[in-house]
Structure 1
Amino acid sequence: MIKNDLPYLTAFTSLIGLAVPYAVLGAGFQVQEQSVKGLGNAFAGGSAIAEDGSTVMSNPAGLVRLPAQTEFGVHIISPNTEFKDRNSSNGIGGPTTGKLSDDGGAIAAVPNFYYTRPINDKLSFGFGISTLYGLATEYDRNWIGRYHAVKSELITININPALAYKVDEHLSLGFGLSAQYADATLSNALDFGTLGYLDGIPEATPSTPALDGFSELTGDDWGFGFNLGLLYQISPSTRFGLAYRSQIDHSLEGNNTLTIPDFAIPLAGPSRSRGGSADITTPATLSLSAYHELDHRWAVMAD
């Protein structure tokens, strides 16, 4: 009998649907937009340029080059995605119905704030708040890939104080601490049409959007890490930067809300919310950059 196993099958289906968004999250969710000024040079030479407050994030050693200043900026990210189906099928081998294509790109605002101040001739302080990692995609609830993902959103806020020390006229070193808040929402549809069809419910038809259930997992967490930097000035016009940022581990704790269609309540029980958790790690990064000023108008940067 399938009936007794449906509550467990529901949870299992939910987990399978959530696995795909997490694979996407890990594939490419780094946010490069740390500086409005840096956008003009495609963020090249980030660890060596040290010309604005974003050096708190990119290479804290560069703080020794900056005056006292406060900066604020906002980037608007508007991705455009396209999906085309190639013979999707459900768990019993039949076709999955739904919208054949959909743009899941979601507009996101990415703000940043920086404050820098020299303490003395050798020591400088910096403070930054920005988003280092994030992802936002949202599809219609009736799109053909709804059993994999509907809404996948990860928001992080990184709070980063840092200090830089000028060893001599050529070398400076930097160190920062990161307190990172992460908030995630992951949702997908549940194919109760197919489950009801297998259980012999007359009105149930496989993979029908109107008969779907829905799973939404939300959670948040604080994680902690650090960043290190080295800046070496070869000449007044040439410098190199080396920067490292540690990985940060998050264990998101929150709720998993299941919405069950009326016809499936005898099989799986009423809609409910239960505790849920998921692990996300923002990866460590290592960058090496070069900056060379050709004249007062032109410079060459490389990573």
Structure 2
Amino acid sequence: MTKRFRAPLLASAILSSSFAFAGAAHGQAFYLQEQSTRGQGRAFSGEAADTGASSLWWNPAAIAGMERGEAVLGASAIIPKGDVVDTGTLIVRPGQAARPVGVNAVSRDPINRGIVPSGAIAVPLNDRVAVGLAVTSPYSFTTEYDGNSWARYSALKTELRTIDIQPSVGIALLDWLRVGGALNVEYMKAELGNALPNLSPLQSDGFQRLKGDGWDVGWTAGVQLHNDWATVGISYKSRIKHTLKGSLEVGGLQGQFLSPQNRTIDGATAEFYTPAQIIVAGRFRTTDKLTLNAQVVRFTWADFDSIRLGAPINTAIPENYRNSWSLAGGFDYAANDRLTLRAGVQRGITPTQDGNRDARVPDANRWNYSVGGSYKVTPRFTLDSAFSYIDFANASIDRRTAAYNGTQLVTPILTSGQVQNARAFVASIGGRFSF
């Protein structure tokens, strides 16, 4: 192996995998929206306009003017289902004809089941000012493909864990006007791996594994307008620039040209942006029992345009996400003094694009159908529950890559696949305690 191949081979090996995150099977791309059991029951259709600690993640103005303190705790069990299917993916090794890439042409349920916790607390300082703290996990999942999967050169295991700590303040400037602001202190930890092809199809695959973590900061600001029968909420959650620092391990490469790349590199870095959110919501009380809700969210996923890898790799991986949106409508119905019933529907548009979608992010447009309810067990404790069914459209997996790109050993992967029969079930339970 001559030195002139060394840096390009390291960079192009990473390019073959793409440092991206698999789609959480119920949010947008790798975003989780399950931050409130109450909100899930109406398909997240009025969160920026509702009040109390349950809505703190969406709008810090939600806690302004509180009369009592409130603590909220919840957990969502997520069960994703679906197939990632090969429809003719080919690999073209140097000097060889194109041949099928995989052994296992169908990867079933690659996104793991999991539980997402969330919590918040808010305390009034006086009749107009309140402070709060929300702890959530907006980007968390694990996805795994078998070692003989057709998608192995794009993804084997991808794991992402995020903790978002949001200290907030809300102020009731007037009886009808509330404002709020918050910091989003976010810890992110990631591990991902994929197979690397050796030059002979008779040789077993090599692998690469990238790990990293880091702390970063963003912010949230919001406003709410209130009258006797309606509330309108508008909030903005900033994009966050993430810088992960960790290590890159490459192994299993064989032969005189590839084996010198087997190594572990400490101090590897990756930089990318998670999107901003512009949220507009309304809650409209039509009778003493019935409240209608609506919410639209604009995601600036185009900020996730590439992933920039630092020394010694020194390259940028294009992602080419597009801005996207979700639209939700729902209702709250107070059946009696203790029981409130909810339901809602949400439409979400994927930020991934045809021609740029890979097996790490098998995302698609979806419909979210949700039901839920709250029961006031005591004057100070309320139990919330919710259930959602998310139905995904079929979508292509068609992002073409190349291992060892830019060298004489370039090995194109001509990806052709599809996400089929994808759906998810989400069951949540939570409690709200006032004090």
Fold match by TM threshold 0.5: yes
For 2:19 and 2:181, how far apart are their aligned partners in 1?
A: 36
Within the alignment, does 1:284 sit opposite 2:284 as a pair?
Answer: no
1:187-226 map, 5 Å: 187-192=193-198, 195=199, 197=200, 205=202, 211-226=204-219
The structure 2 residue matched to 1:274, chosen from 240, 243, 265, is 265
For 1:68 and 1:77, how far apart are their aligned partners in 2?
A: 30
5+ residue gaps, structure 2: 296-435
- Bigger share in strand: 2
* Residues 133 and 282 in structure 1, CA contact (< 8 A), matched pair in contact too: no
For 1:102 and 1:152, how far apart are their aligned partners in 2?
A: 15
Q: Which amino acid aligns with 1:80?
A: K
The TM-score, its normalising length taken from structure 1, stands at: 0.86
- Tell me the equivalent position of 1:200: none
Shift of residue 190, structure 1, vs aligned partner: 0.6
For 2:65 and 2:284, how far apart are their aligned partners in 1?
A: 15
Within the alignment, does 1:155 sit opposite 2:156 as a pair?
Answer: no
For 1:143 and 1:9, how far apart are their aligned partners in 2?
A: 26
Within the alignment, does 1:164 sit opposite 2:170 as a pair?
Answer: yes
For 1:171 and 1:80, how far apart are their aligned partners in 2?
A: 44
- Tell me the equivalent position of 1:201: none
For 2:41 and 2:21, how far apart are their aligned partners in 1?
A: 32
For 1:278 and 1:148, how far apart are their aligned partners in 2?
A: 18
- Bigger share in helix: 1
* Residues 242 and 273 in structure 2, CA contact (< 8 A), matched pair in contact too: yes
For 1:43 and 1:150, how far apart are their aligned partners in 2?
A: 32
Q: Which amino acid aligns with 1:11?
A: L
Within the alignment, does 1:253 sit opposite 2:254 as a pair?
Answer: no
Q: Residues 84, 20 of structure 1: CA spacing in aligned structure 2 closer, same or farther, 3 A cutoff?
A: farther
Over residues 68-122 of structure 1, what are the superposed CA-to-partner deviations in whole Å (9 max), with x where a residue is unaligned?
0211111122212311112211123122132101121111221111111110011
For 1:22 and 1:70, how far apart are their aligned partners in 2?
A: 32
* Residues 20 and 149 in structure 1, CA contact (< 8 A), matched pair in contact too: no
1:100-139 map, 5 Å: 100-103=105-108, 104-139=110-145
Q: Which amino acid aligns with 2:100?
A: P
Q: Which amino acid aligns with 1:223?
A: D
For 2:115 and 2:250, how far apart are their aligned partners in 1?
A: 29
* Residues 85 and 106 in structure 2, CA contact (< 8 A), matched pair in contact too: yes
Query: Structure with the greater relative contact order (CA < 8 A, sep ≥ 6): 1 or 2?
Result: 2
For 2:130 and 2:256, how far apart are their aligned partners in 1?
A: 63
- Tell me the equivalent position of 2:235: 243
Within the alignment, does 1:15 sit opposite 2:8 as a pair?
Answer: no
5+ residue gaps, structure 1: 198-203
**Secondary structure of the equivalent of 2:48?**
coil
- Tell me the equivalent position of 1:71: 72
- Tell me the equivalent position of 1:98: 103
* Residues 176 and 225 in structure 2, CA contact (< 8 A), matched pair in contact too: yes
Q: Residues 12, 98 of structure 1: CA spacing in aligned structure 2 closer, same or farther, 3 A cutoff?
A: farther
For 2:43 and 2:14, how far apart are their aligned partners in 1?
A: 38
Shift of residue 236, structure 1, vs aligned partner: 1.9
For 1:147 and 1:6, how far apart are their aligned partners in 2?
A: 20
Over residues 182-205 of structure 1, what are the superposed CA-to-partner deviations in whole Å (9 max), with x where a residue is unaligned?
11112100111xx1x3xxxxxx62
**Secondary structure of the equivalent of 1:216?**
strand
For 1:21 and 1:284, how far apart are their aligned partners in 2?
A: 18
Over residues 19-55 of structure 1, what are the superposed CA-to-partner deviations in whole Å (9 max), with x where a residue is unaligned?
2745969x712211010111111111111022x4132
Q: Which amino acid aligns with 1:302?
A: A
Shift of residue 294, structure 1, vs aligned partner: 2.2
Q: Residues 113, 20 of structure 1: CA spacing in aligned structure 2 closer, same or farther, 3 A cutoff?
A: closer
Runs of 4+ in 1 over 3 A off after TM superposition: 3-10, 20-25, 263-267
Shift of residue 10, structure 1, vs aligned partner: 4.6
Q: Which amino acid aligns with 1:225?
A: G
Q: Residues 250, 216 of structure 1: CA spacing in aligned structure 2 closer, same or farther, 3 A cutoff?
A: same
Q: Which amino acid aligns with 1:107?
A: R
For 1:65 and 1:55, how far apart are their aligned partners in 2?
A: 14
**Secondary structure of the equivalent of 2:47?**
coil
For 1:98 and 1:13, how far apart are their aligned partners in 2?
A: 24
Deviates more, 1:269-278 or 1:122-131: 269-278
**Secondary structure of the equivalent of 2:247?**
strand
For 2:145 and 2:36, how far apart are their aligned partners in 1?
A: 29
For 1:109 and 1:264, how far apart are their aligned partners in 2?
A: 44
For 2:15 and 2:91, how far apart are their aligned partners in 1?
A: 13
What do you get for the CA RMSD once the two structures are aligned? Answer: 2.3
For 1:117 and 1:290, how far apart are their aligned partners in 2?
A: 24
- Tell me the equivalent position of 1:89: 90
* Residues 260 and 269 in structure 1, CA contact (< 8 A), matched pair in contact too: no
